[in-house]
Amino acid sequence: MAGAGTRILRAALGIKFAIVKPRNRLIVVGAVAQAIGAWSGAVGADFGPSNPFYAPSKLPFNAPPFDRIKDHDYKPAIEAGMAQQLAEIKQIAADPAPPTFDNTFVAMERSGRLLDRALAAFNCVSEANTNPILQEAKTALAPALAAHRDAIHLNAKLFARLTAVYRQRAALKLDAESLRLIEVEYDEFVHSGANLSAADKEQLKKLNQESSALSDAFANKLLAAAKAGRYLTADRAALAGLGEAQLAAAAQDAKSRNTEGYLIPLQNTTQQPVLASLSVRATRESIFRNSWDRTERGDANDTRSTIARLAQIRAQQAKLLGFPSHAAWVLKDQMAKTPEAALEFMAALVPVATATVLSEAKDIQAVIDAQRAGFALQPWDWAFYGEQVRKAKYDLDEAEIKPYFELNNVLEAGVFFAANQLYGISFKERKDIPVYEPEVRVFEVLDADGKALALFYCDYFKRDNKNGGAWMSQFVDQSTLLGTLPVVYNIANLPKPAPGEPALISFDDVTTLFHEFGHGLHGMFANTRYPSLSGTATARDFVEFPSQFNEHWAMYPSVFEHYAKHYKTGAPMPAALVEKIKKSKNFSAGYDLTEVLAAAELDMQWHALPAGAPLQNPDQFEKEALARTHLDIAAVPPRYRSSYFLHIWSSGYAAGYYAYIWTQMLNDDAFQWFEDNGALSRANGDRFRRMILSRGNTEDLAAMYLAWRGRAPSIDAMMKYRGLKPAQ
Ligand SMILES: [Zn+2]
């Protein structure tokens, strides 16, 4: 079945708001996706030939006909698409002919076309250009789509046929990609419980229900806890250090919640951005403690018993499915493959991270001492004094930089230029392709030989009806089986300039454009037969590799010089300024890595618990886990504490948080290969495209990387590019 979509949440390190969204799965937040069974499966009578999704698009590249699609067209098309796919699946399962690769796996690859095209368009607009009609449709569709996936995965007749083919696969004389399809799809079914006895299926279902209820409860408690954990004061002096705009926003926040004074809401992470500005130490400490204890106050929002039970249930689910721990179950289809591999990787980074963060702490303590403040650095002081260190060391003025980064120039003379130099592709703007919003631009991507390769949409400006952050996804997946070429889009939230003014962006934003375009290339270069294995449909600990890798070219001299030109004069950026950008890039690399490592270790330790382990005391567990992994550094708490770690308890990231750091290792290690081999060249680009970017999930990802790199990835390049210190 098409669509092993990978869901990547907002990235944690350096890569801000950089995600790739699943393609043919509804994008939903949290546990809504698990609310199974509310949908009856009825096809709305309101779906017929007048619906623009009824037939495949006749536009170039099968682009969505946004000129004809109305908000009310999506829901009936998606519902009809589910019904149609279920009918197709039923037919495959009931086929009187003996099961073959073609009449099972390939037939499933061909199924669900209507659902795919409607859902792909819906996912884009409901995130990037939403409104109440689309939001309502999304809420209604979430349980239906979850039930739809289950109906396919738990179809016993279908699974029996897949199993028959799976068992004889070695004798079938299939090509490598077809064999890979069999293994990936079969594993996905087994992963979902298709292999269990009726009694075990029943037990799994019960555990699933309890775990989904607990995940929901966790998310709700956390939401309430974050609200309750806000900082409220009537004393303006307590907020010294905030600018007028921040104070006005805090006053407005208080007002909108019908209270007086100033209100600072709590963010998801342990550290709170506002701590960088607040000069009153007592205020910083209060805000930090509000954050740290938000879900541990013994009140209705305390999540400790919820997560302890969740961890236990997950271990039991894994045991039913034949795995020693939840982490082992999750890691099975990832590049790392086992929790041990992920743990070993993290253990190797810990001494490097701590050596770096301790040296940063020294610099910060020196500033505190120079001001005769008379205290030892605490977590709530880090950002405030760190900011002073940053200013003293680099003092990078955004206003000075931005005139060199005009959006269109960055895109065409930077992002597109780098891709042209590496891969020979070129871009032609298409004004004739309909878009869902007039601001969206469309480019046809031409291959080095001039042939049509893909369609690329970009929608870069912030709007009120657009979700935050930046992401990539697709309207159409590449597949030679279906005869489709990729239609890819990038979304961002760049500040929109006043009419007639140029869009001048920060270097962070420049990096985001390169990052999302890196995902774009992974989609555009896809050259696979089966849509399920195409492009970005890879493991979570691989999918952020091509995107982060592409970020490296933003700072590469011949690329940078080509686009970083003053928007008025065309003058290149002064060398001193370029040097400042380079140096400041790694500021606080030790802190960033250490807090993420600590969170990733907590995640992995919780999910490595075996089914027989007793119910844990979360505080004690957390303390011991951090001590065991040598990450118990008082001034550097984990990015998320166990009791408010939304990613792992409610957002599908359990035993997966390490992937953020793992893919950093991959992309730095890959860039090192380029540097060792002459860096930017067509030969290097073409080789990377042939061996990695075009391959999707058609081969074991570790083997794919090994074949391209010539050895397994190492952390050496990551240390070098990120300015991390060797272990002491
Ligand atoms: Zn990304």
pLDDT in tens, 266-284: 988 999 999 999 999 999 9
Q: Average of pLDDT values for 49-64? A: 97
Q: Is a pLDDT exceeding 70 seen at residue 35? A: no
- Rounded to the nearest whole angstrom, what is the distance from the C-alpha of residue 536 to the centroid of ligand 1? 10
Per-residue pLDDT at 205 exceeds 90: no
Distance, CA 83 to ligand 1 centroid (Å)? 33
31, two tokens:
């546990």
State the DSSP H helix or E strand holding residue 11, giving kind and residue range, or none if neither.
none
What per-residue confidence (pLDDT) applies to 18?
A: 33
Identified catalytic residue from 109, 516, 595, 622? 516
- Kindly give the distance from the C-alpha atom of residue 519 to the centroid of ligand 1, in angstroms, as a whole number: 7
Q: Is the dihedral of CA 490, 496, 502, 508 positive or negative?
A: negative
With 0-12 CB in 10 A as exposed, 13-18 as middle and 19+ as buried, what is 73?
A: buried
Residue 42 has what pLDDT?
46
Inform me whether the pLDDT recorded for 37 exceeds 80. no
Is 360 among the catalytic positions? no
Q: What are the start-end ranges of the H helices in 229-278?
A: 244-256
Task: Report the SS3 class of residue 106.
Answer: helix
pLDDT band at 44 (very low <50, low <70, confident <90, very high): low
Distance 322 CA to ligand 1 centre (A): 32
Q: Tell me the per-residue pLDDT of 209-261, one tens digit each, with 9 for 90 and over.
A: 899 899 989 999 999 999 999 999 999 999 999 999 899 999 999 998 889 99
Q: Is the pLDDT of residue 337 over 60?
A: yes
CA neighbor of 137 nearest in space, from 86, 83, 79: 79
pLDDT above 60: residue 452: yes
Q: 371-408 as b/e, with b when 16 or more CB fall inside 10 Å?
A: eeeeeebebbbbbbbbbbbbeeebebeeeebbbbbbbe
pLDDT tens digit sequence for 156-194: 999 999 999 999 999 999 999 999 999 999 999 998 889
Query: Looking at residues 691-709, what average pLDDT do you find?
Result: 98
Q: For residue 237, is it left (φ>0), alpha (ψ between -120 and 50) or beta?
A: alpha
Cα 287 to ligand 1 centroid, rounded to whole Å = 31
Question: What is the model's pLDDT at position 468?
Answer: 84
Average pLDDT over residues 347-355: 96
Distance (Å) from CA 669 to ligand 1 centroid: 17
- CB contact at 8 A, 154 and 189: no
Ligand 1 centre to CA of 406 (Å) is: 22
- Mean pLDDT over 343-360 rounds to 96
**What does the block give as tokens for 711?**
């050895």
Q: How far is the CA of 209 from the centre of ligand 1 (A)?
A: 31
pLDDT number for residue 12: 29
pLDDT at 652 over 90: no
Over range 146-164, report the average pLDDT: 92
Residues with CB in 5 Å of ion ligand 1: 18, 544, 547
Report how far residue 694's alpha carbon sits from residue 489's, in angstroms, rounded to the nearest whole number.
17
pLDDT, mean of residues 697-721? 96
Q: What is residue 283's predicted lDDT score, i.e. its pLDDT?
A: 98
Amino acid letter, residue 119: L
**Residue 469: predicted pLDDT:** 86
Question: Do the beta carbons of residue 56 and residue 34 sit within 8 Å?
Answer: no
Rounded to a whole number, what is the largest CA-CA distance in the chain?
Answer: 84
Kindly state the tokens that stand for 449.
């030989």
Ligand 1 center–CA 702 separation, angstroms? 19
Any idea what the Cα angle at residue 53 is, between residues 49 and 54, rounded to 5°? 30
pLDDT at 484 over 90: yes
Question: Helix or strand or coil: residue 435?
Answer: coil
Residue partners of 656: CB distance under 8 A and separation at least 6: 330, 334, 540, 541, 603, 647, 648
Q: In percent, how much of the chain has pLDDT > 90?
A: 83
Q: Which of 394-398, 580-584, 702-706 has the lowest mean pLDDT?
A: 394-398
Number of residues that this document lists for the chain: 728
Residue with tokens 């000129």: 67
Q: How far is the CA of 529 from the centre of ligand 1 (A)?
A: 24
pLDDT value at 409 more than 50: yes
- The residue-averaged pLDDT of 331-360 equals 96
- CA 472 to centroid of ligand 1, rounded, Å: 7
Residue 468 CA to ligand 1 center (angstroms) comes to: 14
Task: Pick 674 or 12 by higher pLDDT.
Answer: 674
Residue 150's SS3 state is helix
Q: How far, in Å, from the CA of 19 to the mean position of ligand 1?
A: 4
Q: b/e map of 708-727 (b: 16 or more CB within 10 Å)?
A: ebeeebebebbbebbebbee
C-alpha dist (Å) from residue 680 to 384, 453, 558, 684: 39, 22, 9, 7
Least confident of 3-17, 155-169, 221-235, 315-329: 3-17
What would the mean pLDDT of 401-408 be, rounded to a whole number?
A: 97
pLDDT bracket for residue 45 (50, 70, 90):
low
Tokens of 118: 């409607």
- Angle, vertex CA 319, rays to CA 317 and CA 322, nearest 5: 115
